[in-house]
Structure 1
Amino acid sequence: MKIAITGGSGFIGKNLIAQLAKVVGNEIIVFDRHFDAVLSTYDNVEQRLMDFDISYGFDFHLQQVDVLYHLVTTSTPATARSLVTEITNNVLPSTLMFEAAVRQGVKKIIFLSSGGAVYGGDTAEHHSETDILLPLSTYGEQKLMIERSLAFTTQNTDTDYAIIRLSNPYGPGQNPKGALGLVTKLVYQALTHAPITIYGDGENIRDFIYIDDAIQGILDIVANGADNQIYNLGTGQGASVNEILERVTSEVGVTAVNYVSARQTDVRVSVLDISKFKQITSLTGFVSLSDGIQKTKDFFQESGEIS
């Protein structure tokens, strides 16, 4: 099977490729802005440089591709500001890529959306795939627009799709200095005795999922899920920022904590209803937060990233 992955050198991409590359017969093409040393160690992975914009030759690069994973994004919830910029940099190139995929006969497109950003400020205990969508940020709005673009572009064609609304993944391989990944960042900051900044009162609730579970969930949705469907992917369990901080302090160590003003784009409660996902997954349980924090701590200490 020939598989194309945009954003393959990122946190989720590299962990996904680690599993896909094990399958005999898989040929993987990775599109990203830079070459990655880890990905170059796989015999069945080819890396191609890509500036994700409207000038990219999507038709050429998607020839004979069977499955397309669309993981790349040029922004984060904290950095996205202008909706025009989000449309230009993310929505429009994604739509052009989807159209090219249909023309080239790609059998299935998997889009990794955001389970935290698209549902918005609704304080419902659990968000289901059928909830009304009212994003609070331009990041969430562009994710929603790409979802709709994918569904529209592939209707009445031979190309199927899966939209995966992922919660908050964390764990080994995530950049602790990046804009995403609260759990990973807190573990790293505690290990390095760096001050921790918490936005708001720390009572915002999120659904955190360990990276190994997230990757298995993605693979299960692609293999077992119904075509042309949206799936939430998380643990279905919420934890506040303060709870995470308390667990990190207990498992890793104490460091200075600074509480600052909340951000307008921060959703108060974001926990996913995973009833639909449970019907098709091979997972019988999830890595607990305590175990996930310990695994992340061990990774940093064993990888030499902590001096």
Structure 2
Amino acid sequence: MNESSIVVTGAAGFIGSCLVGFLNSQGYTNLLLVDDFSRADKEPNLQGKTYLQKIERESFFDWLQKDDPAIDFIFHIGARTDTTEFNYAIHEHLNVDYSQKIWNYCVEKNVPLVYASSAATYGGGEFGYDDNHELPFKLKPLNPYGISKNEFDKWAIEQTAQPPFWAGLKFFNVYGPNEYHKARMASVIFHSFNQIKKDGLVKLFRSHRPDFKDGQQLRDFVYVKDVIKVCYWLMQNEPASGIYNLGTGKARAFEDLVKATFAGIDTSPNIQFIDMPEDIRDKYQYFTEANMQKLFNEGYTDKFYSLEEGVQDYVRNYLSQGKFY
């Protein structure tokens, strides 16, 4: 067993709970889980996992001050991730102010930090998808969620007082087990699987741009098992601090994704195209693709799941069986 004491925020959520499970598998059980634990629909994500304590998100900083625990590492995965929430104040509280408090604690106590940023910061992609430190200051995210994540990235880059090691991970389109509670914000694979089970077909958004055919909108889909491996590698190796993209580096079409989902349940594809809702039409990313060179240059060598491999594993071993990671 590893005695290191690790904080995971957003621990009951999709990526956070998978990270907790992975840390357990690597012998880490002294885990301090931070989240809003009032939501019953997230509870199954933590079943069977080992940890020291759960701490409510809004009382975390008071708890730190009172208990003054020895902490070896913080994974700040928690965030308000709803891209359809247009009240910026909600995003600002959790994604900017709260993150700044975590950062300042890490500086004061000399604790390394990995935090979740997002590919939503890249907006329409007109400036490309490089994770250098000049780009965040030019970016124009398309929604309040993306804006809040970019605001914190910019703030972090400008700080002279920094944790001993820090990495901001720009998650691209993450999919995989433990996203059952995410409703509208769950991955297209999750929704596709449920549509196939219910109706025998999948509805995909029509393209509303002449340069993209229906179903050929492209995203960098990355399997959550790769995401948590990178998080763990960063903790183990502490390479150069900074912002890092986290995708596969290969954009794929939504149509490919859905076909892979059908293949996962041994069914012929049946896809129907529908109009995109008006409220997201002008805020929709048609193409994302992570430039992954920075992470590779720092020495990360593990192979990423291909879209087909990841979807196959997710559909056959989790969705089809109602299992959690």
Aligned to 1:259: 274
The Cα shift of 1:239 comes to 0.9
Q: How does 1:130-279 map to 2 (within 5 A)?
A: 130=132, 131=135, 132-153=138-159, 155-157=160-162, 159-175=164-180, 177-193=183-199, 196-201=202-207, 202-252=215-265, 253=267, 254=269, 257-261=272-276, 263-279=281-297
Q: Deviations over 1:131-170 (max 9, x none)?
A: 44221111111001122333445x3355431111111111
Distance 1:231 1:75 in 2: 19
Is the helix fraction higher in 1 or 2? 2
The number of equivalent residue pairs is 298
Matches within 5 A, 1:1-307: 1-24=4-27, 26-34=29-37, 36-37=43-44, 39=46, 41-51=48-58, 57=63, 59-60=65-66, 63-77=69-83, 79-103=84-108, 105-115=109-119, 117-123=120-126, 127-130=129-132, 131=135, 132-153=138-159, 155-157=160-162, 159-175=164-180, 177-193=183-199, 196-201=202-207, 202-252=215-265, 253=267, 254=269, 257-261=272-276, 263-279=281-297, 280-283=299-302, 285-298=303-316, 299-303=318-322
- Aligned partners of 1:150 and 1:296: how far apart in 2? 34
In structure 1, what residue type is equivalent to 2:56? L
Contact 1:80 1:138 in 2 (8 A): yes
Structure-2 change in CA distance of 1:135 and 1:156 (3 Å): same
Structure 2 CA distance for aligned equivalents of residues 242 and 234 of structure 1 = 18
Q: What is the alpha-carbon distance in structure 2 between the residues aligned to residue 46 and residue 221 of structure 1?
A: 24
Contact 1:221 1:277 in 2 (8 A): no
Q: Tell me: CA distance 1:158–1:273, structure 2 relative to 1, closer, same or farther (3 Å).
A: closer
Give the C-alpha shift of residue 271 in structure 1.
0.4
Unaligned runs of 5+ in 1: none
Looking at structure 1, the residues matched to 275 and 6 of structure 2 have their Cα atoms a distance apart, in angstroms, of 44
Q: How far has the Cα of 1:277 moved from its partner?
A: 1.4
Structure 1 pair 30–136 and aligned structure 2 pair: CA distance change class (3 A): same
Between the aligned partners of 1:61 and 1:162, the Cα distance in structure 2 is 26
Aligned residue number for residue 212 of structure 2: none
Contact 1:199 1:263 in 2 (8 A): no
Distance 1:9-1:106 versus aligned 2 partners, 3 A rule: farther
CA distance in 1, matches of 2:224, 2:50: 24
Q: For 1:230 and 1:169, how far apart are their aligned partners in 2?
A: 17
In the TM superposition, residue 38 of structure 1 has moved relative to its aligned partner by: 5.2
Counterpart residue identity of residue 229, structure 1:
G
Change beyond 3 A, Cα 1:157–1:277: closer
